[in-house]
Each structure stands twice: as C-alpha cells, then as structure tokens.
Chains A and B, each alone.
Chain A
Amino acid sequence: AVPCVSGGLPKPTNITFFSINMRNILQWSPPEGLQEAELTYTVQYFIRYGQKKWLNKSECRNINRTCCDLSVETSDYEHQYYAKVKAIWETNCSKWAETGRFYPFLETQIGPPEVALSTDEKSISIVLTAPEKWKRNPEESSISMQQIYSNLKYNVSVYNAKSNRTWSQCVTNRTLVLSWLEPDTLYCVRVETFVPGPPRLAQPSEKQCVRTQKDQTSALK
C-alpha cells in the first residue's frame, strides 16, 4: 500500500465496541466535517491487553463502512482488548483513533431470551431459552450465555389486557406457568435477561400476546 501522509486528516470519532452476546463489533463515525467525503478506513487490534502487538485486521483494510467485526479476535472474553482505526483519503490519512480498554466479560450486552408461549383455558406456559454466545460458524457447538453467567436471571413482565394491569416476576429457571388466569383474555408477555453486577444495557424480548381459551363450562351451557 502507498504510504500516506499521517495526520493529514482528522481522526475518526466515537470509536467504540458494540457488544451483544459476545459478538464484538468495532464501530466509529467519520472524522469531523468529512461525513460526506469518500473515505476508506483501516483497522488494527491489540492482540490482548498485556501483549506487545498491534495486528492488522485484513478484512478491514481500506474499507468504506464504519464498522468491523472483531468477534474472533476478542473471543477470549475474560481478557481485555484495544482496537484502533484510521481514515484514509487519497494520499492523506488520519492518526489512529483508539478505543478504551474493552472487557467483553463485563461489557457485553445480554440479548433477550427466546420465549415460547402455550396456553389453555386458564393458564399460560412460558418456556425461556437463554441467548447463545456468538460463535464463529454454525458448526461450532453452542454455548449458552447462562453457562458464562451462572447468576443470569429473567424478568418476566405480564400484561392483562382486560384489567389493563401489568405485573412482573423474577425467575431463574426456564419454565414458568401462570395459572388461574381469566379465560378468553388477552395476555402479553415480555422477558428481559439480567445479570446482577455492573450495570449492563439490556434488550427485552419482543412483546408476545396470547389469548386464554374460552371457559369450557360456560361454552357447554
């Protein structure tokens, strides 16, 4: 690659890792005032905090987009990492813009669980499946985020459309049966995973609604 004049451009801004279920995406914004310019970017990552090397991320050399997936390079979540990016325009390039120290174990967001609802006349069964850790390829064996965070819990929020009331319940196991519900009533459920400890962003599941069946006894009369 033709060497560029370093410092000829302002640095990229807002460089940070966006991490969810250990999928770690480096993202940044174009340099100040150059949002419209046709820039390219090159990314390097620090093999790990405490090691001596900056390495090139080959798939993120001279790219147009403002993000780069570094999940493979940062997959040992108990270690900490740095990354940096510079902007390039013709023969000019910026200095490196560097992230703070990134600690996946403490900083990754835990995505919503899978929520399966089934109902009968007066009850709703809720089966929750913890989100999976990101994996390099589909063949790789799955690891549940629950295996990484043994104190992972679920906050189940239930809305009764007839009474217009909402109540919540904190559970640790995967199945929950709401019994003695009102027949022929719409209930909506939303579930959020959370791990006690450092404050973490959380993403609740999509709201799912289900109607309990009609009361069979009154149906027979």
Chain B
Amino acid sequence: GLRRCLVSMDMRHVVESFQEIKKAIQAKDTFQNVTILSTSETLHRIKPLDVCCVTKNLLAFYVDKVFKDHQELNPQILRKLSSIANFFLYMQKALQPCQKQRQCHCREEATNATRIIHDNYDQLEVRSAAIKSLGELDVFLAWLDKNHRENSA
C-alpha cells in the first residue's frame, strides 16, 4: 500500500506505561495554551506516504532531545519514561532496514511538520518544553498505533 515501513510492534505496554504517569506529567505542564505536537493538526494531516519519515523524525525528536532535556527524580516515573525511551530506541532500530532500502523518503510536507514541532519546542524554556512534550506522548503514541497497524487505511 501507500504506507511503507510499517513497524509491527506490541504497543500495549508502552501505552499503559504512559497512562500510569500521564496525570503526574501533565500536571507539571502549566502552559495549557501552548502545544508542541498538536498545533494546527500537525500530526492529523500526515499522509500515508509520509508516515515513515515523520515516525523517524519524531522518534529522533524524543530520543535525542526530549528525554535528554528532562530530569526525573521520581523512581516510578523514571521507570516508565525509561520503558518508553527504550521502546522508541527499539522502533528506531526496526526502521533502519527500511531507511537503508531508501523507503523512508522525506517529502516537503513531512519535513515541514517536523520543523513546526521543533519550532514549538524551541519557543519554550527547555525544561518546560521537555515536560510538555512528555505530556503529549499520548498524542504521538495514538498516532503511531493508528498508522503502524497492519490493516489501517
């Protein structure tokens, strides 16, 4: 189909991991009038052809930026964030064969969508941006689940 490079994965545990810390993480985000992932329906408008590129870019956004910029002291939350971070690392590896076969091409729309997200991030103080991005993991996980399901359109 149009979507290539589907990563077959069991998302249940990573989604449950986030559900367990969602309230605590989102409560630390005091800027309710700003979003990182959800501005102008960025993710909702991604076309099937761009799913692989956006997946790759957003995994890198979280792995290389967000998790590093967040300092977590609570062991329970740290465990769940570690679970999610290592799951994203696994997904990055699962995408590598696809990228080598040049099936993860980035078109302009995908690059723009990623740039908007990075711009939103850079407009906030780094700790606030990191906690807000972590609080929006449910948006990203729901998008991953919907777009990497074998039978989804």
- A residues touching B (Cβ–Cβ < 8 Å)? 46, 49-52, 78-80, 82, 100-101, 103, 105-106, 150-151, 196-199
Contacts and interface: CB of A to CB of B under 8 A. Distances in A.
Given A106-B142, A198-B16, A49 B35 contact: yes
Contacts of B34: 50
16 contacts: A49-B35, A49-B38, A50-B39, A82-B32, A100-B27, A103-B138, A103-B142, A105-B142, A150-B152, A150-B153, A151-B151, A197-B11, A197-B145, A198-B138, A198-B142, A199-B19
Nearest to A196: B12
A144 B33 CA distance: 32
Given A101-B135, A151-B152, A52 B33 contact: yes
Interface string B1-22: 0000000000110011001001
Interface of B: 11-12, 15-16, 19, 22-23, 26-27, 32-35, 38-39, 41, 44, 135, 138-139, 142, 145, 149, 151-153
Q: Which 7 pairs of residues, A with B, have the shortest CB-CB distance? A: A50-B35, A52-B33, A198-B15, A101-B26, A100-B23, A50-B38, A197-B145
Contacts of A82: 32
Contacts of B23: 100
Contacts of B142: 103, 105-106, 197-198
A172 to B, nearest CB: 10
Contact of B38 (A80, A100, A151): A80
B27 A197 contact: no
B-side interface mostly: helix
A195 to B, nearest CB: 10
B149 A151 contact: yes
Contacts of B26: 100-101
A46 B38 contact: no
Contacts of A52: 33
B142 to A, nearest CB: 6
A70 B145 CA distance: 27
A105 B23 CA distance: 17
Contacts of A49: 32, 35, 38
Contacts of A151: 149, 151-152
A50, A150, A151, most chain B CB atoms within 10 A = A50
B145 A46 contact: no
A141 to B, nearest CB: 21
B15 A51 contact: no
Given A100-B27, A198-B16, 16 more contacts: A49-B32, A49-B35, A50-B34, A101-B135, A103-B138, A103-B139, A106-B142, A150-B153, A151-B152, A196-B12, A197-B11, A197-B145, A198-B19, A198-B138, A198-B142, A199-B16
Nearest to A82: B32
A49 B151 CA distance: 30
Contacts of A106: 138, 142
Nearest to A46: B32
A197 B38 CA distance: 20
B113 to A, nearest CB: 16
Contacts of B145: 197
Contacts of A46: 32
A3 B32 CA distance: 26
B28 to A, nearest CB: 12
A197 B15 contact: yes
B139 to A, nearest CB: 8
B33 A51 contact: yes
